[in-house]
Amino acid sequence: MDDKKLIGIDLGGTTTKFAIITPAGEVQQRWSIETDILEDGQHIIPNIIDSINHHLDLYQMKSEQFIGIGMGSPGSVDLAAGTVSGAYNLNWEGTVYPKRDIEAATHIDFKIDNDANVAALGERWQGAGDNDPDVTFVTLGTGVGGGVIADGHLLHGVAGSAGELGHITVQPGGYLCTCGKRGCLEQYASATGVVHIARDMAEEYSGDAQLKFMVDDGQDVSSKTVFDLAKDNDPLASKVVDRVCFYLGLALANVGNMLNPKYIVIGGGVSAAGDILLNGVQKYFEENTFPNVRHTTALRLATLGNEAGVIGAASLVLQDQQE
């Protein structure tokens, strides 16, 4: 088995990434294709199959040389059945059968989990998580997702919603979330949440600040704009970042208080802001954790970036063997 390989697939709304990885986590080959979501996304799985078979030909490899294929997918994933439903950004309205179809066409064992869980496994295995048995991952992108590995197990809960850190209530009665409830972390710490806070604070802000000028002037303001201005000590942008860090710090403190992981790893596009985010969150994390957690649970920025998905997806195959 030692010279057998893994295939990791990170299925996203615009790109599908692939990698061939050793059981030790070394990425040997990487490629990607566009995700063709036209015609109800019916080409997505056939395109994945074609791409795998094409690359195995290219590298002169056979299915017997692989322990398995792991994939991360948007939507609601049924692990046992290997199916996905309600992946609206792929135009998959009904239930799709990646495991059945990919196993039949490649003759390689196939495992699947949701995209945030898979990224959590990746960061835990080869990234900032140091392969520790207790790692929580939060990803700050257009939305906020996450995954919890506790005592070496990726948690799913009774209905697959464990690790949905984006819906932690950080402000009861606060901003309305797409999930229908109010005050979700996602509304305060995603890229859109940062901009939402910026616009609301700009409206009330009476001082002189570049961020206020840009908002009032109708210019495009992104999460990156806000963090960049804060790095330049723009007074309003600094207040916005502080607010974002307060909510994220509170949510992650409560992750710490409940789970006491070794690391809480912060990834996703918003985390590219780097130390200004990490240091701000650290302050509120410390304020809201009790001493033993404050001293033993560490916050870290993710290190794998885009590769977390394929690496973590590949590791699904190994996780399964360990249990």
- The residues of the shown chain that bind a copy of itself, judged by CB under 8 A, are 132, 134, 148, 150-151, 153, 155-165, 167-169, 172, 177, 179-184, 246, 250, 253-255, 257-262, 287-293, 295-297
Contact 134, 150 (CB under 8 A): yes
Task: Work out the number of other CB atoms within 10 angstroms of the CB of residue 281.
Answer: 28
Q: What's the min distance (Å) between Cβ of 220 and a copy of itself?
A: 30
Q: What's the min distance (Å) between Cβ of 242 and a copy of itself?
A: 13
Q: What's the min distance (Å) between Cβ of 183 and a copy of itself?
A: 7
Task: Supply 134's token pair.
Answer: 């207790």
DSSP string, 1-53: -TT-EEEEEEE-SSEEEEEEE-TT--EEEEEEEE---HHHHTTHHHHHHHHHH
Task: Supply 221's token pair.
Answer: 């303001």
**Alpha-carbon gap, residue 48 to 34, rounded angstroms:** 10
Based on CB atoms, which residue is closest to a copy of itself, 35 or 297? 297
Based on CB atoms, which residue is closest to a copy of itself, 103 or 242? 242
CB-based contacts of 142, cutoff 8 Å, min separation 6: 190, 191, 192, 269
Q: What's the min distance (Å) between Cβ of 73 and a copy of itself?
A: 16
Task: Work out the number of other CB atoms within 10 angstroms of the CB of residue 210.
Answer: 15
Task: Work out the number of other CB atoms within 10 angstroms of the CB of residue 213.
Answer: 13
Based on CB atoms, which residue is closest to a copy of itself, 224 or 262? 262
Based on CB atoms, which residue is closest to a copy of itself, 18 or 263? 263
Q: What's the min distance (Å) between Cβ of 6 and a copy of itself?
A: 23
Q: What's the min distance (Å) between Cβ of 184 and a copy of itself?
A: 7
Task: Work out the number of other CB atoms within 10 angstroms of the CB of residue 64.
Answer: 8
Q: Quote the distance between the C-alpha of residue 16 and its chain's center.
A: 15
Based on CB atoms, which residue is closest to a copy of itself, 119 or 184? 184
Based on CB atoms, which residue is closest to a copy of itself, 20 or 259? 259
